[in-house]
Structure 1
């Protein structure tokens, strides 16, 4: 799946699920399994951007962790 399409789908999912809600008490751990597919790191970063966007999920950046082999 192309990263752009993945990001569009992720935005639609999180926007639908989190509309008008704040999630400042939440934590998130994203793990990018990117040894064979480096584009997965780009996808994981796109999800982080969605999660911290105040118009979407509104996570606090310090409560997000992105792990990657790269």
Structure 2
């Protein structure tokens, strides 16, 4: 038998959660609404991000490419 209370207690101790982009969004069509860049050219950063995501099929990658 699994004690649910144990898992709930442990969940209360969590201080950070990280998600990779594969499980972040599974539905919908995200789009980039705003981008803020410090210390670099906004155009250059968008160009680099778009080139990295150019061949992706993931919705977030597609949104980055569309924004660029």
TM norm structure 2: 0.31
Structure whose alpha-carbon radius of gyration is higher: 2
Structure holding more strand per residue:
1
TM norm structure 1: 0.31
Higher RCO structure (Cα 8 Å, ≥6 apart):
1
